[in-house]
Amino acid sequence: MNQARSLVLNRWLAFSALAILILLFIFVPGVVKMVVVSVLLAYIFDPIVTAIELRGLSRTASTLVFFFFVILIAWGLFAALAPVVYNQIMALRSGAGSQQTSQVILKLQAVVRDKLGFIGLGDVNLEEKISQLTGYLSDTILDFILHEGLSLILYAVTIPFLVFFFLKDGREMKKHFIGIVPNRYFEFALDLLYKMDVQLGNYLRSQFTDAVVFGVLATTALWLLGVKYFLFIGPFAGLANLIPYVGPIAGALPAVAVALFDKGDITLGFQIILAFIILKLTDDMLVQPLLVAKGVHMHPLLVLLAIIIGGELFGMLGMLLAVPATGFVKVVLQESIVTLKKYRFTD
């Protein structure tokens, strides 16, 4: 009798948790965003903590050691990069347009006035428009930092906190989840969860590694070419590379724009495009084949739809997370079907 009661209670608890999750998703999307990002990061870093565990430490101690090193690296990066980043924001704000830039803009303006005068662009002032745009961009960045500062701090504190607990207690959480599955489907659920865990972990880690490698290569290439703000554009290109097809273009565009509007150097613009083509070829032919599990093949249309939906729901972050999230759903469905076929439940 007691067993039946505890089973009913467990199911009620599971349903309540699911209902709360759905409500959170609808009414507090920010929380969902934080949890999704934390779960993805925990998946990515789990093997590192497990490797530390191999040295004979407990899971908690391993997670603490991992965080100690993460904080150390983050602090080092902050100390080294903060002044450079600050200078780059200030340079963007002051709209450090050079003389060559003005010349290129004037040339462009002449072409526009000459060729496109018939559609009412005869008296367009490109220089003014561009300086307005760069001013607007830098103000938006600063506004974002100032006004969203509180939520940025909240994110910066909450996400590592969540990642810590997902890393430390993730195994226990999975065990509790398995614990509420009815006896009949318990082995099936365990099998499914394990396969998903392996596939998903491999997929997310390969995506993350690819983004990091591409980001580092792009930053180095932009630094070598002498492009300003390379510390922003390089990592952005790495992140954008997560989005198939449009990602590399989206990554290259800001660099080309900076080359054209800041230095007024068309040759540099072409060099950047060439560098990004080489980077993308290296990524496709060298980096990706070396990564173990890039094998979650998705139809281009599905990717496009996922990016649009991700963007509509969660903005820029949603667009970046759309592809891994769709990969997640695809792996879950694929493994569910394969495992269900294997178990052939008839009652």
Decide: is 53 part of the binding site for other proteins (CB under 8 A).
Answer: yes
Among 171, 244, 270, 286, binds other proteins (CB under 8 A): 171
- Cα gap 329→324, rounded to integer Å: 9
Q: How far is the CB of 72 from other proteins (least distance, A)?
A: 24
- Site of tokens 């999230």: 325
Round to the nearest angstrom and report the end-to-end CA distance of the chain.
Answer: 23
Report the residue number, 210 or 335, with the smaller CB distance to other proteins.
335
Report the residue number, 147 or 171, with the smaller CB distance to other proteins.
171
Strand residue runs (E) in the chain: none
Report the residue number, 46 or 265, with the smaller CB distance to other proteins.
46
Residues 6+ apart with CB under 8 A from 299: none
Among 144, 184, 281, 285, binds other proteins (CB under 8 A): 184
Report the residue number, 270 or 343, with the smaller CB distance to other proteins.
343
Decide: is 6 part of the binding site for other proteins (CB under 8 A).
Answer: yes
Q: How far is the CB of 192 from other proteins (least distance, A)?
A: 10
Q: Looking at this protein, which amino acid is placed at residue 16?
A: S
Q: How far is the CB of 191 from other proteins (least distance, A)?
A: 6
Among 143, 148, 187, 312, binds other proteins (CB under 8 A): 187
Torsion (CA) 30, 31, 34, 40 in degrees, nearest 10:
-120
Among 21-29, 187-195, 279-287, 288-296, which window interacts with other proteins (CB under 8 A)?
187-195
- Cα gap 234→85, rounded to integer Å: 13
**In this structure, how many other beta carbons lie within 10 angstroms of the beta carbon of residue 168?**
21
Q: Is 103 exposed, middle or buried (0-12, 13-18, 19+ CB in 10 A)?
A: exposed
**What would the two tokens of residue 102 be?**
């003005």
Decide: is 129 part of the binding site for other proteins (CB under 8 A).
Answer: no
Among 30, 117, 122, 179, binds other proteins (CB under 8 A): 179
Among 24, 32, 113, 194, binds other proteins (CB under 8 A): 194
- Number of amino acids touching other proteins (CB under 8 A): 21
Decide: is 343 part of the binding site for other proteins (CB under 8 A).
Answer: yes
Decide: is 186 part of the binding site for other proteins (CB under 8 A).
Answer: yes
Q: How far is the CB of 344 from other proteins (least distance, A)?
A: 8
Provide the b/e sequence for 43-76 (b: ≥16 CB within 10 Å): bbbbebbeebbeeeeebeebbbbbbeeeeeeeee
Among 190-198, 199-207, 272-280, 295-303, which window interacts with other proteins (CB under 8 A)?
190-198
Alpha helix (H) residue ranges in 180-284:
183-225, 230-240, 247-258, 266-282
The answer to whether 259 and 272 are in contact (CB under 8 A) is yes
Among 5, 27, 54, 301, binds other proteins (CB under 8 A): 54
Q: Which residues bind other proteins (CB under 8 A)?
A: 3-4, 6, 50, 53-54, 171, 175, 178-179, 183-184, 186-187, 190-191, 193-194, 342-344
